[in-house]
């Protein structure tokens, strides 16, 4: 298990704006998080209820220990069927991704966009002083681009 953090550069001020364009300006701070002892079935219910495709798994100290996604749940569905195991008896910690890549909240939003392209991930958690503080998704990058409308590129 490991957490890899990508630290980007702060953007230089554009000629027509004095605003810094960084990840923390566009990341989601109010996250739906999962606990390692939750069942995969409970995670599936939360994903559907909240219309999200995945999320961070944190311990009792709000430290990031994994990520769980729709794909992880689908994989578990097929394994559960094969072994005839109910999903309610299977914990998240046994099926979450433990090798996590994070992005620094001070990373330039355009560097984050490049990181999404190179990694093929849908979301990156942001950790500060060991605690989960937010998450940036591909959709957040799109929202930033729409807000900027290309005039500061």
* Number of helical (H) and strand (E) elements in the chain, helices listed first: 4, 6
Residue 17 is predicted with a pLDDT of 42
Residue 3 is predicted with a pLDDT of 66
DSSP 97-115: B-EEEEE-TTSBHHHHHHH
Residues of the chain predicted below pLDDT 50 = 9-18
Q: All domains of the chain, ordered by start, with CATH?
A: 2-148 (3.10.580.10)
Residue 90 is predicted with a pLDDT of 80
- Six token digits for residue 118: 């190179």
């Amino acid at each position: 298990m490991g957490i890899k953090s990508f630290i980007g550069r702060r953007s230089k001020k554009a000629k027509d704006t004095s605003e810094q364009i960084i990840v923390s300006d566009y990341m989601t701070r109010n996250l739906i998080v999962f606990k390692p002892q939750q069942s995969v079935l409970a995670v599936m219910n939360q994903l559907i209820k909240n219309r999200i495709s995945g999320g961070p798994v944190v311990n009792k100290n709000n430290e990031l220990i994994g990520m769980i996604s729709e794909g992880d749940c689908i994989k578990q569905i097929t394994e559960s069927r094969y072994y005839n195991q109910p999903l309610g008896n299977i914990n998240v910690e046994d099926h979450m991704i433990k090798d996590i890549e994070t992005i620094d909240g001070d990373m330039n939003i355009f560097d984050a966009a490049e990181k999404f392209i190179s990694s093929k991930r849908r979301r990156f958690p942001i950790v500060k002083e060991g605690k989960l503080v937010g998450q940036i998704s591909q959709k957040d990058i799109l929202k930033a681009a729409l807000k900027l409308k290309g005039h500061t590129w």
